[in-house]
Structure 1
């Protein structure tokens, strides 16, 4: 993937989110987000907690997710509920955590895997997952508040992540992993291609829609994405930008 370094793009995405959050009113912070059951402050607290975990993980410290719940989702929910704080404190906690995690990712040995939840990723791949999560949660904040959060060329990392993890998504579903080609229109009108163009199955359309489907923020039927071939429709429904 030829593009700016993903850690630089993670930092740029976080800069855009910080600019968004800095303009929120006190009422906005306690308003419901698009993440079910979470306020805007809860979403930012979750991002702060997980960015702190990145720094710990890069240092080699074990991450004890299981003490909070028997699944990742239940653990994340319990962590947020365990540390309520005023919005200003949550915002500052995330600002501190995100700078520390970016510094840790930059300083990490790029070839040394980092243990994260139930898998191990090289630092640049971990940075890609963090970019995907920050982007998705920024939509959770901006959309219900009616605020603009424009797509950028940083979506290339997220589209790559979604496409590259399709085999994993098929395995989770108990199905063999076929080759799927994706041809996506970037925010600037250029075209991104992932996979083998000769594959029997393909997905084409907007990169923004592809990433939103992978983040479970847009239903495949509403995405405008076009599928062709025996496995493309299944691939679109299994698409995920997260572990």
Structure 2
């Protein structure tokens, strides 16, 4: 995608949604970290449903330790892989209390040292909580980056590096949210809804779906399977 087209791509997204935000619900940075950790291979809707009651009583890592692993499990049992996620969240809380004074570090390397926190999760926290220009490549961003030609890559890291190189100011902080929302609601995995996409003239995808109810001419790639294979969490 040409430099001028990339700028126009994000200008339109910003015009349509000037203040994009994550759809995960949280009240502070620690709750955000927990929510993002729980969201791996789960939906934001499902995570929010589980964390509303949890976050009413757990606001700090010490609160989580006081609740205990079994107490945490009772709140998140509707989320996939809740047993392993509960172990990671409890171990994370212990490290935050012991090594970081109960605070979430504003450093990606330190974040990825925490149990259950990979590069994608760390990038989300850095972006949402600290305003960092990070690009957390989930299945939606991976798909949008490749389909549109914005940032092509065979791996999440390759797409992330492409975004780091090509996304211009003043759109770098909001880009993560715009791309996720675009992938979630417009550039969908099975059938992209090109007929109401405001970026259609900038998009490199050849098999555009121009009418509701139609299907792409060829099968789309399946980034969700790639996500599982490459452990994008």
Q: TM-score, normalised by structure 2?
A: 0.31
Structure with higher strand content: 1
Higher RCO (CA 8 Å, separation ≥ 6 residues): 2
Q: TM-score, normalised by structure 1?
A: 0.30
